[in-house]
Amino acid sequence: MGAFRRKLRGKVFGFGSKRTPKEFFGFVFGTSPLLDWKELRRKKALRKYNENPNKAILDGYVDEAGNPLDNQETIYKYGKEVSNPDFRKPLVGHSWSRGVYGIAKREGDDEPMVFQLNLNGKTAKEFKGWKPFVPVRFLALVYGKDEYYRLYPSNLTKFQEDKDAEIDYEKWIKTASHVYQLDKLEQAWQATKDADDNWCFIEADLDYIFPEVDEDRRIRQLNITDDSVGLQTYRTRIPEDFPINFSEFSRIIVMGEVQRFKRKDESIGMAIRGYGVYPIPGKSIEIPEEKAFPAERSEEPIILWE
């Protein structure tokens, strides 16, 4: 602890403010997929142009030559709405974004809480080699504490593994948030659909792991089920780089957002946009390393994990 504090204490330059980062101890549960918002908006603009060129031009999606434009008058920066300096300019470059989710205690707090650490730009793109469910210490800027910690990184933010610490992960999860059973998925959706913290924890059985990765959406798909829902299975999508070292028939806790959608036959279905999966000890089945689905590895520098 002392070495950690000596290493990371110091002057902070994050976001051009003198806000002081706070110290946390806990673990990462998972992440949202890495998204490039500008690329998604470029695709949307071109789709609008292909559907109706004149309307797309009038609505500011593209210029007269069909090139995508930035049509957002305002943007959010560090939680505040500000004027967009690129409004009506060509929509070029990238805008990487990723959320890191976990459970931690802030120094001085008694109970663990869920945290959401928002990463943007290069920091989001290079958040690689991370490990869920290992004790870590880190510093971060706190931009709100209600039912969870809303965090942003400073240039001192690094997840440093604490090899001497132990965490009862299942106990921390159930202390930080309610865990829904799968037959209460509708209740979980109702409770979170309009919330700022629109995620929840769901306990279920892992039915199937799809071996293929969706390269466009950067996700892997799982199916989960439970005796309480009979033969029904629910699709769960998790980031492609989440390490899976457990097999089907494991008892798990999923963290993610419950989503409703309309099927082709007009019936309503439900799915989960997952951040991570916790295999419950004693109720899960480990698989050999050579058969596991490992996290992405890269020779690029790791910005936030060491």
Burial annotation 193-230 (CB, 10 A radius, 16+ → b, else e): eeeeeebbbbbbbbbebeeebeeeebbbbbbbbbeebe
Tell me, what amino acid is at 207? D
Q: For residue 124, what is the enclosing H or E element? A: helix 121-125
Across 32-175, the runs of DSSP E, i.e. the strands, are 35-36, 74-77, 80-83, 96-106, 113-120, 136-145, 149-152, 160-161
How far is residue 32's CA from residue 284's CA, in Å, rounded to a whole number? 24
Q: If 0-12 CB within 10 Å is exposed, 13-18 middle and 19+ buried, where does residue 4 land? A: middle
CA angle 126/127/130 to nearest 5° reads 140
Count of beta carbons in the 10 Å neighbourhood of residue 94 = 12
Let me know: does 74 contact 81? Beta carbons within 8 Å.
Answer: yes
Report the alpha-carbon distance of residue 257 to residue 234 in Å, rounded. 13
DSSP 153-205: --TT--BEE-TT----HHHHHHHHS-EEEGGGHHHHHHHHTTSSS--EEEEEE
Distance CA 154, CA 1 (A): 20
pLDDT for the residue 299: 40
Report which secondary-structure segment, H or E, holds 40.
Answer: helix 37-51
In this structure, the strands spanning 251-262 and 219-225 are unpaired
Structure tokens at 207: 């039915």
Helix, strand, coil in percent for the chain, rounding step 5: 20, 40, 40
Task: Kindly list the distances between the CA atom of residue 279 and the CA atoms of 29, 231, 255, in Å, as whole numbers in the listed order.
Answer: 11, 21, 12
**Any bridge partners for residue 225, and if so which?**
205
Q: What pTM was estimated for this model as a whole? A: 0.82
CA–CA distances in Å: residue 189 to residues 98, 100, 138, 193: 22, 21, 31, 6
Comparing CA positions, the residue from 218, 271, 220 lying closest to residue 244 is 220
- For residue 83, give every residue at least 6 positions away whose Cβ sits within 8 Å of its Cβ, in sequence order, or none: 73, 74, 75
13 DSSP 8-state letter: -
> pLDDT per position in the chain (306 positions), as tens?
555 554 444 433 333 345 789 999 999 999 998 889 899 999 999 999 999 999 999 999 999 999 999 999 998 776 678 999 999 999 999 999 999 999 999 988 999 999 999 998 888 988 888 999 999 999 999 986 678 999 999 878 889 999 999 999 999 999 999 999 999 999 999 999 999 899 999 999 999 999 888 887 889 999 999 999 999 999 999 999 999 989 999 999 999 999 998 888 888 899 999 999 999 999 998 876 655 555 544 444 445 776
Domains and CATH numbers, the chain: 2-26+99-119+126-161 (2.40.50), 179-291 (2.40.50.140)
